[in-house]
Amino acid sequence: MSRNRVIARPYAKAIFELARSEKTFSLWSQMLSLAASASMDKSVQELIKNPKFTTSQVITLFVDIGKDLFTPQMHSLLWTLAKFKRLGGLPEIASLYEELRAEAERVVSVELVSAFPLEKSEQQRFVDVLKHRTNCDIALENIVDESILGGAILRAGDLVIDGSIRGRLAKLGESVGILDSKREL
């Protein structure tokens, strides 16, 4: 586990517990997403690292970015992160928060990679099957990658099911010794 993830985990858990108690999951998702995006901007990163700018000035920048969205609790989070020089951890905090939220709401994010865009009815069939198997709601994203030739690849967290033609050809090639396992098609 990365050091950033270890540092971000307590913040994400605390935010999650607050959001659950106040029933503000969506609001926190929006606030964290905006703050994380801002923290990844190169000019904001330079400002955070520049000793000429005070913590107050850096926080003012973040507050201005989210002025219509950020709550007093978000302001407190930003102050705490800035005080301990952890504003750069906002993307990881946001990511961990979303994982906790999805788990609590019993939603599994699934990436479905196909060689061509799937129609809504085809996507719905995948959702129905996965929903039945996982007993969770499914958030499906269809990504088009023509290089897989046909079939599909499903990714849900750590689980990857490669049913693509490219993947099958690679396995076949390895089994008959045509391709070594380190080369791609």
Question: In the chain, how many domains are there?
Answer: 2
Q: Which of 162, 50, 144 is nearest to 172 (CA)?
A: 162
Query: 13-42 pLDDT, tens per residue?
Result: 999 999 999 999 999 999 999 999 999 999
Residues 93 and 121 in one domain: no
In a domain, 185, yes or no: no
In a domain, 183, yes or no: no
SS3 label, residue 67: coil
Give percent of the chain with pLDDT exceeding 90. 58
Sorted by sequence, the CB contacts under 8 Å of residue 33 that are 6+ apart come out as 94
In a domain, 33, yes or no: yes
Residues 15 and 86 in one domain: yes
Residues 10 and 53 in one domain: yes
- Give the global pTM: 0.65
Domain ends where: 84, 102, 120?
102
Domain ends where: 80, 102, 124?
102
Domain ends where: 44, 74, 102?
102
Query: 41-79 pLDDT, tens per residue?
Result: 999 999 888 999 999 999 999 999 999 999 999 999 999
Q: Which residue range is the domain that position 95 belongs to?
A: 3-102
